[in-house]
């Protein structure tokens, strides 16, 4: 029988043999794999180069198309339109009109006699209101040569009315307009400011001309110039202007 030492040596030899076999078999597979990879890559490169060469041979440069010949007899559209325009008889010019074509040329065509006339613009509401206010102011000024534009709660208006209506005898009597009680009071006051340059009340007008307000009337009365001022501005329209206290003294 074999001794244990020989058995160990035999096992070691078997192991070494197996390791050697696996080692050489692995190297051979690697070498074979490397060869297969290289051959495959070379075949792919060769196929791609052949395809590129074939595509270059098939592509040919395209020649530009020759320009179309220009006809010598071609004329602009404008010349044709001018020729048509010249052919129109003179007597028919009033019945013809020119219309633009495509924004560049014009064509002469008969006028549309059935065309509706242009619509007239209607006056705006503001212009109608202004005309009504002016009409009302003119109507007021015709009632008397002396008009006192006042407000019922204004103390200056009360002073002017007291002097003109109670202290003086004026023929025809002054006409009083209370703007705070008039339907167009605000519009009348604005129109008076525009025409006379005075917006506040009272505003005393003699033949359409303003002689001022309450302070102005008081100053003229104190200077004894109110009657002469009214006669000068009123002219023939004012028949009489006298202070009532002077008439009493004369009696």
Query: Torsion angle of alpha carbons 120, 126, 130, 133, nearest 10°?
Result: 120
- Indicate whether 74 pLDDT > 90: no
Query: DSSP per residue over 232-248, as a string?
Result: HHHGGG--EEEEHHHHH
52-61, 161-170, 181-190, 242-251: which range is least confident on average?
Answer: 52-61
Mean pLDDT, residues 148-158: 97
Mean pLDDT, residues 24-29: 59
- Indicate whether 167 pLDDT > 90: yes
Helix residue ranges, H only, 59-144? 77-86, 125-141
What pLDDT is attached to residue 177? 97
- Indicate whether 126 pLDDT > 50: yes
In sequence order, the β-bridge partners of residue 240 are: 171
Please check whether residue 230 is in contact with residue 146, taking contact to mean a CB–CB distance below 8 angstroms. yes
Query: Torsion angle of alpha carbons 125, 130, 134, 135, nearest 10°?
Result: 0
What pLDDT is attached to residue 46? 80
Average pLDDT, the chain: 77
What is the tens place of the pLDDT at every residue in 173-183? 999 999 999 99
Gyration radius (Cα) of the chain, Å: 59
62 alpha-carbon distance from chain centroid: 56
Q: Higher model confidence: residue 57 or residue 7?
A: 7
Whole-model pTM above 0.85?
no
């Amino acid at each position: 029988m074999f001794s244990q030492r020989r058995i160990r040596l035999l096992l070691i030899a078997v192991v070494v043999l197996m390791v050697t076999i696996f080692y050489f078999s692995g190297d051979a597979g690697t070498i074979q794999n490397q060869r297969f990879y290289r051959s495959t890559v070379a075949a792919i490169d060769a196929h791609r180069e052949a395809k590129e060469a074939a595509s270059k041979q098939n592509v040919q440069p395209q020649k530009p198309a020759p320009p179309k010949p220009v006809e010598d007899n071609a004329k602009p559209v404008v010349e044709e339109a001018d020729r048509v325009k010249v052919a129109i008889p003179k007597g028919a010019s009033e019945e013809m009109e020119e219309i633009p074509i495509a924004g560049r040329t014009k064509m002469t065509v008969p006028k549309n006699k059935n065309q509706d006339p242009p619509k007239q613009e209607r006056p705006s509401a503001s212009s109608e209101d202004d005309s009504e206010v002016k009409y009302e102011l003119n109507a007021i000024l015709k009632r008397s040569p002396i008009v006192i534009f006042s407000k019922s709660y204004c103390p200056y208006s009360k002073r002017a009315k007291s002097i003109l209506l109670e202290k003086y005898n004026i023929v025809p009597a002054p006409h009083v307009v209370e703007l705070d009680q008039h339907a167009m009071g605000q519009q009348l006051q604005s129109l008076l400011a525009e025409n006379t340059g005075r917006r506040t009340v009272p505003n005393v007008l003699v033949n359409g001309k303003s002689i001022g307000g309450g302070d102005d009337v008081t100053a003229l009365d104190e200077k004894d110039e109110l009657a002469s001022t009214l006669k000068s501005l009123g002219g023939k329209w004012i028949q009489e202007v006298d202070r009532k206290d002077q008439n009493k003294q004369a009696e």
